[in-house]
Amino acid sequence: MRLKLLVTHMLAALSAFWLVWFVTNLGFFPLLVLSLVIGWIFANSSWFLVNQAYDQIRDWARLLPEEKRDILTSNSDLTGIAGALNSARDQFTQNLSQLEVDKQKAELILDNMRDGVVLIDPQSHVILVNPAAEKIFERPRKDLISRHLVYSIHSNELGKLIKQVIKKGEEAEAQIDIFLPKELRLRVAALPVFDGDNLSAVLVVFQDITGRHRVDTVRRDFVANVSHELKTPVAGINLLSDSLAKSVGTDEKAAKRFSKKLSREAKQLVQLVSDLLDLSQLETPEIKPIFAQLSLSTTTKKVVSGFTEQAAEKGLSLRTELERGLSKINGNRDQLRLMIRNLIENAIHYTPTGGDILVKTEADGQFVVLEVIDTGIGMPASELGRVFERFYRIDKARSRKTGGTGLGLSIVKHVIDNHDGKIKLVSTIGVGSKFTVLLPARSEAKKPKKKTAPKKTRAKKT
């Protein structure tokens, strides 16, 4: 370092000597002394600045890895500094590339998550939103970013959960209900994010469990309804059997009356169990029904024939208008018979004596149509949307009296869904009801044969 400083001093002095020589008329020795002084000042000033910068680079080098720090601090010239700086630049570029790759991976994972992810600051303002969260709340990212999450989602339960996480610094979970833009049940997990000892953000994960919650609710209601429906006939059978045992041998009329009621309750119980088994099979995805090409008119005719006697006993007119030559449908024969049977039973149960029931089939564009029309008691318009629910009855007392289980129309709806069909219901109180089933036609009707000129024949005399 001293040698470099001396060389710099001599070069600066020589430059100053020649410069002053041409500008002034000083003597040789005064000129030499002045040149040395100027050179010394210039050299010291220059090397002071160089050393100051070198010291700053050494301080910065302490932040580098040990192997690169050795390269920088072991060299006293600028060659070592340049090498270390180049190495640091390469390392920085490599780290930057790796960070970009990690960022792309994180964004890919975040964008493809099914659960909604929202990152908020300690003031509950949204910092980050993934596409799943946009889909759950049906709001674009721009409408959520920088806004208060609780105010955007309108949930006091969520606000309490986030406050708890911010206050305690611990993760928390809860199930919340939101009603805008639609009614949803969400499982929410909130996790604190720390920067050192300070809470810097809260990560909120939303899982839509609306469907699962609805299924659980339906299952609980179904079990409760089945228990209630089974309890009534079983209690009746138990009571009637005791009464029958006491009246046998003492009161023959009472015994016959109890026996008749006992038989009716037993039939009701058998019908309920049968409907439950039918509904269970229709709802079991593992049971794959066999579908085949069949005629809806032919199937309907066979089912209706089994109700002729029952309708006559109640004083009802059971008529059919079954169109021939309809396109066949791709269906399961047993399920379709079950559907038709439940529709006719429903009409018989709710049509008073002297009423009329019409069962007809016809074509309607790409559908084959089945209609069951009765002149029964009818239903109010407000109840039409619920009659296909399990165990739903408009008049429970009348349903039990007529032998209905509350499952018939639910079975009908399941069969139609299994056949990709549709059902329509029109009903008026005191006038009657009309059930219209539309099933997709799977093949065109047979074309009529070309008419040929009839042969001339003589009419036989009778």
| CATH code for the domain in which residue 149 is found | 3.30.450.20
User: 342 and 233, same structural domain?
Assistant: no
pLDDT at 358: 95
pLDDT score at 355:
94
Distance CA 40, CA 427 (A): 114
Q: Choose the final residue of a domain: 208, 232, 263.
A: 208
Residues 318 and 277 in one domain: no
Statement: residue 373 has pLDDT above 80: yes
Shared domain for 422 and 298, answered yes or no, is: yes
Asked if residue 145 has pLDDT above 80, the reply is: yes
Question: What average pLDDT score do residues 204-211 get?
Answer: 89
Pairing assessment for the beta strands 356-364 and 367-374 based on DSSP bridges: antiparallel
For residue 327, which of 369, 372, 371, 373 has the smallest C-alpha distance? Answer: 369
- Strand ranges (E), 276-349: 292-294, 317-322, 329-331
Query: What's the pLDDT score for residue 369?
Result: 95
Q: What is the pLDDT of residue 295?
A: 93
**Sequence-ordered strand ranges (E) for 196-332:** 198-208, 292-294, 317-322, 329-331
The answer on 430 and 305 residing in a single domain is: yes
Token pair 């659980």: residue: 216
Within a domain: residue 449?
no
Distance (Å, rounded) from C-alpha 446 to C-alpha 399?
Answer: 43
389 lies in some domain: yes
In this structure, the answer to whether residues 253 and 267 fall within a common structural domain is yes
pLDDT value at residue 398: 52
Residue 143 gets which letter from DSSP?
A: G
Peptide bond into 289 cis (omega under 30): no
Domain count of the fold of the chain: 4
Rounded mean pLDDT, 355-370: 93
Residue 321 token pair: 């208008």
> Does residue 48 carry a pLDDT above 70?
no
Distance CA 343, CA 358 (A): 11
pLDDT beyond 60 at 76: no
Containing structural domain, residue 246? 214-283
Q: Which residues of 264-295 are buried (b: 16+ CB within 10 A; e: fewer)?
A: bbeebbebbeebbebbeebeeeeeeeeeeebb
